[in-house]
Amino acid sequence: MEKAYKTMKHAGALSIAMGVVVIVIGLVSGILMIASGGSLLKNKRHIVW
């Protein structure tokens, strides 16, 4: 029975760690997308169609 609890403990810890990683990656990619969009809006007058 103790082996099952250890397995569940490791699975829970891994899930929490992966959740944190996914949140961080999401935040970083969102910030980069906002910065990129701002840069495009800032320089839109230099774009010639």
What pLDDT is attached to residue 46?
Answer: 82
What pLDDT is attached to residue 21?
Answer: 98
Distance CA 22, CA 28 (A): 10
List the pLDDT tens digit at each of the 49 positions of the chain: 789 999 999 999 999 999 999 999 999 999 999 999 999 999 888 877 7
What pTM value is reported for the model? 0.71
Sign of CA dihedral 34, 35, 36, 40: positive
What pLDDT is attached to residue 8?
Answer: 94
Sign of CA dihedral 18, 19, 24, 26: positive
